[in-house]
Amino acid sequence: MSGYKEIDSIPEPDSKDFRLLEITRVNHKPHPYMIGPRLVGYVSDNCNGMLGVSAIEEAEKTGIHCAHPKCRLSHSEHTSDKVLFIKALVDKELNKLDGLNEYLSTIGDALKKINVDGVAFVSCK
């Protein structure tokens, strides 16, 4: 689906106190997997230029690893958490945002479907 974003699969809140901001990965351990020139060359020559997890795993079998200096961890050993960020639009405590608790209870299945690990909140300040 062209232009699809995971956040589009979550219903918009019906509140003037908060809105959906983004879904992104945080808490990278030990760091984000770095794509280097050797991997790009391998993918170009052997995978029709299609860079994805399977291409990275194939390249790792040939000795191509994360391009971070001195890192020899596999792609699967680089982990992170997928988080939905919600922005408060008013200066209130979280438990006083209009409809927040009810909204969070309704989006649980949608979050599970796209493997979101948690929710974080951004203050309006």
**pLDDT by position in tens, the chain (length 125):** 445 789 999 999 999 999 999 999 999 999 999 999 999 999 999 999 999 999 999 999 999 999 999 999 999 999 999 999 999 999 998 889 999 999 999 999 999 999 999 999 998 76
**What's residue 23's pLDDT?**
96
**What's residue 124's pLDDT?**
75
**What's residue 3's pLDDT?**
59
- Residue ranges of alpha helices (H) inside 1-125 are 37-46, 53-61, 100-106, 108-113
Q: What is the dihedral of CA 44, 46, 48, 49, to 10 degrees?
A: -30
**What's residue 1's pLDDT?**
42
> Where do the structural domains in the chain lie, given as residue ranges?
1-30+79-125, 32-77
- Contact between 101 and 43 under an 8 Å Cβ cutoff? The reply is no
